[in-house]
Amino acid sequence: MAKKLYVGNLSYSTTSESLRDAFAQAGTVVSSNVITDKMTGRSRGFGFIEMEDADAEKAIEMWNGKDIEGREVTVNEARPMAERPPRRGGFNNRGGGSY
């Protein structure tokens, strides 16, 4: 069984591959994903790592509060994404109706 970890405060130059390499020091990485802005493709400064359960606990202890590529990162078990209210429609998503 794998656990998903949230990794925050990443350097904007951190890639999914470099994140995987760092966390591989703690054990087997199932997947790694640095979240990017859909419009610009630039990192949003956080990502997710999926690791085997035992390795995930070790990775949290190893990396939480530590430096990765010049930034002190936050690492904890990822929480499920909260339900978002539906976006209001309209021109340019300003909340108005159709024109």
Domain boundaries, the chain: 2-77
Per-residue pLDDT of the chain (99 residues; tens, 9 = 90+): 899 999 999 999 999 999 999 999 999 999 999 999 999 999 999 999 999 999 999 999 999 999 999 999 999 999 887 777 777 765 555 555 555
Angle CA 2–47–79, to nearest 5: 55
Residues 48, 19 contacting (CB under 8 angstroms): no
CATH fold of 2-77 reads Alpha-Beta Plaits (3.30.70)
pTM of the model: 0.81
